[in-house]
């Protein structure tokens, strides 16, 4: 079986595209002909074309729907067929068609998911693979859905905490630019030959410099935007910027807690699924996205291969709170490492929510006062000479 993408014309003559599974190209054309579809072009889809990138939100919805349909008693193949029909003409449709084709041919779901590595990461595939061995596919999918939901919630909190300062700073930048480049130069002649307040002199001097250095400021703005874009989309730069961000006191604490939440929840779930500790550490390490802590976990893996306890590798490290190795040591002694991993994730998730709530309630108003004070200072320096009526009379 293979997948084919076709272009066709509807009754009104408009073009549309779709996908269909068939044994070969002739079979695909015959199926489309039976459905009375006027095909203009049809091509076979390769593995790279099928490996589309689905957002986390869509992965969460798919996972929940598969778990619900399995709970209703449907076989896995029927579940995938039902979802394939539901998601027709959507981004996830080719992926679901390929999953149907692979499962129908007798391949495990985990092996079928591994063909779409851009959407389903190693942790997701490993959890599904372990569930297939233990017969707990539905329960495992529910755990994956809960894990993805919490990850999206943390991401949403981070974005909401940082978005407001970014938007406020951008707005104040536009206001200051309008004052320095347009308003203040237009009022310069009004104050010629007058004795001005020192604050007004400073603002007018800054405005004159900004107007004379427009090309330099424009080039600097474009270069700054380019650097930001490279740091986001270019992987070597993103890793370098990430390592620099980890040295800032506030971001260091915040990003470390986010990494610990990801790692501990992933590792705890994998251990509960029956994976060996070293394999679970290796796979959970890929979810951290924290270069320094990933090296610590890699070192812990090597230490465990030589018979060393896990908690010893986490002791006396500046990025790891003392509570973590203490809790891991107790868990290793009592044989409750999966449970303790989940407890650590919940502790730092609560701590992270408190920090983000603090940003919303305290830091944002302070930023508003700071930026509002800057804009107000510029406006006051312009309005101050206008209050001196006697100088206008003279």
- Write out pLDDT tens, residues 363-388: 778 888 888 888 888 888 877 776 66
**pLDDT given for residue 46 in this prediction:** 57
Among residues 269, 46, 38, which one has the least CA distance to residue 148?
Answer: 269
Residue carrying structure tokens 């495990």: 108
More confident residue, 37 or 128: 128
**pLDDT given for residue 392 in this prediction:** 47
More confident residue, 38 or 221: 221
**pLDDT given for residue 68 in this prediction:** 92
Q: How far is CA 106 from CA 84, 95, 112, 124, in A?
A: 18, 17, 10, 20
Torsion angle of C-alpha atoms 90, 94, 98, 99, degrees rounded to 10: -20
Q: Which range has highest mean pLDDT (1-10, 138-147, 164-173)?
A: 138-147
Under the banding of pLDDT at 50, 70 and 90, the label for residue 64 is very high
What's the whole-number mean pLDDT along residues 75-87? 86
- On the question of pLDDT at 356 being above 50, the answer is yes
**Measured between alpha carbons, how far is 119 from 231 in angstroms, rounded to an integer?**
23
**Measured between alpha carbons, how far is 143 from 268 in angstroms, rounded to an integer?**
11
**Measured between alpha carbons, how far is 323 from 300 in angstroms, rounded to an integer?**
17
pLDDT tens for 296-349 read 888 888 888 888 888 888 888 888 888 888 888 888 888 888 888 888 888 888
Per-residue b or e along 213-234, where b marks 16 or more CB atoms closer than 10 Å to that residue's CB: eeeebeeeeeeeeeeeeebeee
Among residues 121, 153, 124, which one has the least CA distance to residue 57?
Answer: 153
pTM over 0.75: no
pLDDT tens for 1-34 read 566 767 777 777 777 666 666 667 777 777 777 7
- On the question of pLDDT at 176 being above 80, the answer is yes
Q: Which residues contact 56 (CB under 8 A, 6 or more apart)?
A: 148, 151, 152, 155
Percent of the residues in the chain that have a pLDDT greater than 90, as a whole number: 3
**pLDDT given for residue 112 in this prediction:** 86
Quote the mean pLDDT of the chain: 80
**pLDDT given for residue 242 in this prediction:** 61
Under the banding of pLDDT at 50, 70 and 90, the label for residue 226 is confident
**Measured between alpha carbons, how far is 234 from 144 in angstroms, rounded to an integer?**
29
Q: Which residues contact 273 (CB under 8 A, 6 or more apart)?
A: 126, 127, 130, 131, 134, 140
Q: Which residues contact 94 (CB under 8 A, 6 or more apart)?
A: 3, 5, 19, 45, 49, 50, 52
Joined together, the tokens standing for residue 259 give 């990494």
15-22/38-44 β-pairing: unpaired
Q: How far is CA 245 from CA 209, 248, 249, 261, in A?
A: 32, 6, 9, 19
**Measured between alpha carbons, how far is 215 from 179 in angstroms, rounded to an integer?**
18
Among residues 122, 143, 118, which one has the least CA distance to residue 58?
Answer: 118
What's the whole-number mean pLDDT along residues 177-196? 77
Joined together, the tokens standing for residue 93 give 């449709």
Joined together, the tokens standing for residue 22 give 């068939």
- On the question of pLDDT at 261 being above 90, the answer is no
Helix, strand or coil, per DSSP, at residue 387: coil
């Amino acid at each position: 079986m293979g997948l084919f993408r076709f272009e066709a014309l509807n009754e009104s003559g408009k073009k549309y595209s779709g996908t269909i599974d068939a044994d070969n190209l002739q079979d695909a054309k015959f199926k489309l002909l039976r459905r009375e579809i006027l095909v203009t072009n049809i091509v076979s889809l390769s593995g790279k074309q099928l490996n589309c990138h689905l957002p986390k939100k869509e992965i969460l919805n798919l996972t929940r729907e598969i778990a619900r349909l399995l709970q209703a008693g449907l076989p896995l193949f029927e579940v995938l067929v039902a979802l394939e029909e539901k998601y027709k003409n959507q981004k996830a449709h080719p992926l679901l068609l390929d999953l149907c084709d692979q499962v129908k041919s007798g391949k495990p779901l985990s092996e079928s998911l591994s063909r779409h590595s851009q959407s389903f990461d190693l942790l997701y595939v490993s959890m599904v693979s372990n569930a297939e061995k233990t017969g707990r596919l539905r329960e495992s999918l529910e755990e994956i859905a809960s894990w993805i939901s919490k990850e999206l919630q943390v991401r949403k909190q981070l974005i909401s905490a940082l978005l407001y300062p970014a938007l406020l700073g951008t707005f104040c930048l536009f206001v200051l630019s309008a004052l320095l480049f347009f308003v203040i130069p237009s009022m310069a002649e009004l104050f010629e030959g007058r004795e001005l307040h020192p604050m007004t002199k400073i603002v007018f001097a800054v405005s004159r410099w900004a107007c004379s250095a427009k090309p330099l400021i424009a080039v600097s703005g474009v270069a700054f935007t380019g650097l930001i874009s490279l740091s986001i989309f270019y992987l070597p730069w993103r890793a370098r910027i990430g390592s620099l961000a980890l040295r800032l006191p506030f971001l260091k604490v915040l990003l470390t807690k986010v990494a610990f939440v990801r790692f501990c929840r992933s590792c705890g779930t994998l251990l509960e699924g029956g994976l060996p500790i070293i394999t679970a550490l290796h796979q959970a390490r890929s979810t951290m996205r924290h270069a320094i802590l990933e090296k610590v976990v890699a070192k812990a893996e090597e230490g465990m291969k030589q018979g060393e306890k896990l908690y010893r590798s986490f002791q006396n490290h500046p990025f790891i709170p003392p509570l973590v190795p203490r809790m891991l040591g107790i868990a290793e002694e009592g044989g409750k490492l999966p449970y303790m991993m989940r407890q650590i994730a919940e502790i730092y998730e609560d701590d992270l929510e408190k920090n983000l709530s603090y940003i919303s309630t305290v830091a944002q108003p302070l930023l508003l006062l700071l930026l509002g004070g800057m804009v107000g200072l510029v406006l006051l320096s312009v309005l101050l000479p206008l209050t001196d009526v006697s100088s206008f009379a003279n």
